[in-house]
Amino acid sequence: MIEPYTALCIQNTNFCVRNKKDIQKNLDLICEVIDHSHYTRIEYPVRLMTIPEAGIQSFVDSQMDWEHKEVAKTLFNTTVPGPETEVLAAKAKEYGAYICGQLRALEPEISDDLYFNIGFIIDPQGQVILKHHKLQVFAPERSCVPHDIWDKWVEKYGTGLDAFYPIARTEIGNIGACICMETSYPETSRGLAVNGAEIIYAPTYIEPYYSRGWHEVQLRARALDNSCYVVAPNSGDWYMTPESKVPTAIHGGNSMIVDYQGQVLSRTTTHGTSYCSAIIDVEALRYWRETTMFGSWLKDLRTEQYKIIYEEPIFPKNLWLDPPPGYGKTAGRMAVLRECVETLRKRGTYVPSLYAQLKQEKKKKATETVGAGKTDSQ
């Protein structure tokens, strides 16, 4: 039996990162918040602590539009496990808790010049027991994902659930990771749940989308979709440059913990450094899953009819095995996404808007005018 326990969302202000010293400042602050979350320890034991995506390294690569392979050699040339996880491992051992976190790091067995966005779990003995490689990124984030090196990835890890949706089966429940933009797609959380997840670590989202309510809608939906707890620490304010006098609320704060029926149990009330906590009752979740006939959805899945949706690919695989021009920076990634939009138009999935038609006509007219001018001058 798993007795109820407390989970924490650590929400830390991000110091501007330009070098490894700056990363250490963020780690120090995270450890300070962990040390001073002591009031929660007068309730149930704290068994799970979670830190935000970008809480350690910030989103400096997308902020500065650094080229992927260059920053992979300098700032993100760490590994998991590595120096950063060692700092957190000491806290895991000190408090007898599991710690979930995230780093951009190399995967030397795969490549020496590509970095991944890696979610990890450290156990109370200080060992890294899970690595989840983020599967979905938006254009300004240039982390490599398994799909970018698909052929190499499946050759090494196969195509089973564990290759893409790994789970840590622990004494406090089965835990998986779904990082930032991954929560915007139901598939990642569903893959984790089908593989046995009971708790989903879902760190960070950004403004202006947090203030629009997108992330809360998605977190609650993913919890309800899969009858999982969702523990979602968001990054706090961010000192955008070394000269910044005050930080900017670019992440929106509002860290939260959601139960397996989609109800928000707890949330932070600030966008700065803070934390929230809630009680996790895995046995109640398990009883809900096996008892309710409405609200626990996995048992109802008629999988054959859903496979059809994904038979035709949309986003191209293997892009880091043979990268198109500029793929290591935002502009190159945006170009790929525009081609994907065109693919959906050609299929009839997207219907061209009136705005697009008017733009096309204007472009055509401008071309004809230029052509006519050349003819006149000739």
Residue 230 sits in a domain whose CATH number is 3.60.110.10
Question: Residue 317: inside a domain, yes or no?
Answer: no
**Residue 376's pLDDT is what?**
57
Share of the chain above pLDDT 90, in %: 89
**Which conformational region is residue 296 in: left (phi greater than 0), alpha (psi within -120 to 50 degrees), or beta?**
beta
| Mean pLDDT, rounded, for 217-226 | 98
Confidence of residue 170 (pLDDT cuts 50, 70, 90): very high
Question: Residue 318: inside a domain, yes or no?
Answer: no
Give yes or no: residues 215 and 350 share one domain.
no
Q: What is the residue type of 311?
A: E
State yes or no: cis peptide before 208, omega within 30 of 0: yes
Residue 164 tokens read as 């893409």
Give yes or no: residues 214 and 131 share one domain.
yes
Give yes or no: residues 265 and 350 share one domain.
no
Give yes or no: residues 357 and 232 share one domain.
no
| Mean pLDDT, rounded, for 161-183 | 98
Give yes or no: residues 74 and 176 share one domain.
yes
Give yes or no: residues 210 and 342 share one domain.
no
Decide: residue 262, CB within 10 A, 0-12 exposed, 13-18 middle, 19+ buried: middle
Question: Residue 218: inside a domain, yes or no?
Answer: yes
Residue with the two structure tokens 């061209």: 352
Whether 142 and 107 have beta carbons less than 8 Å apart is answered as no
Give yes or no: residues 60 and 110 share one domain.
yes
CA distances from 30 to 116, 205, 210, 295 (A): 22, 18, 22, 36
Whole-model pTM: value is: 0.94
| pLDDT for residue 375 is more than 60 | no
pLDDT digits (tens, 9 = 90+) for 289-324: 999 999 999 999 999 999 999 999 999 999 999 999
| pLDDT for residue 363 is more than 70 | yes
**Residue 360's pLDDT is what?**
85
Using the CB atoms, write b or e for 334-347: b if 16+ within 10 Å: eebeeeeeebeeee
| pLDDT for residue 372 is more than 80 | no
Q: Who has greater pLDDT, 373 or 304?
A: 304
Question: Residue 171: inside a domain, yes or no?
Answer: yes
Last residue of a domain, one of 304, 320, 355: 304
Question: Residue 265: inside a domain, yes or no?
Answer: yes
For the chain, the average pLDDT equals 95
Give yes or no: residues 241 and 299 share one domain.
yes
| pLDDT for residue 378 is more than 90 | no
The closest of 103, 111, 72 to 86, measured between CA atoms, is 103
Pairing relationship of beta strands 98-107 and 46-50 according to DSSP bridges: parallel
Give the chain's domain count. Answer: 2
| Mean pLDDT, rounded, for 253-277 | 96
Share of the chain above pLDDT 70, in %: 98
Give yes or no: residues 349 and 280 share one domain.
no
**Residue 41's pLDDT is what?**
83
Question: Residue 109: inside a domain, yes or no?
Answer: yes
The closest of 115, 111, 121, 125 to 178, measured between CA atoms, is 121
Structural domain for 185, as ranges? 5-304
Question: Residue 196: inside a domain, yes or no?
Answer: yes
Give yes or no: residues 131 and 66 share one domain.
yes
Give yes or no: residues 254 and 353 share one domain.
no
Using the CB atoms, write b or e for 40-72: b if 16+ within 10 Å: beeebebbbbbbbbbbbbbbbbbeeebebbebb
| pLDDT for residue 377 is more than 60 | no
**Residue 38's pLDDT is what?**
80
Decide: residue 210, CB within 10 A, 0-12 exposed, 13-18 middle, 19+ buried: buried
Whether 369 and 377 have beta carbons less than 8 Å apart is answered as no
* Helix (H) or strand (E) segment spanning residue 58: none
> Which DSSP state fits 326?
T
**Residue 21's pLDDT is what?**
94
Q: Who has greater pLDDT, 364 or 325?
A: 325
| Mean pLDDT, rounded, for 136-155 | 95
Give yes or no: residues 158 and 94 share one domain.
yes
| Mean pLDDT, rounded, for 28-51 | 93
pLDDT digits (tens, 9 = 90+) for 68-124: 999 999 999 999 999 999 999 999 999 999 999 999 999 999 999 999 999 999 999
> Which DSSP state fits 13?
P
Q: Who has greater pLDDT, 356 or 198?
A: 198
Confidence of residue 128 (pLDDT cuts 50, 70, 90): very high
**Residue 366's pLDDT is what?**
80
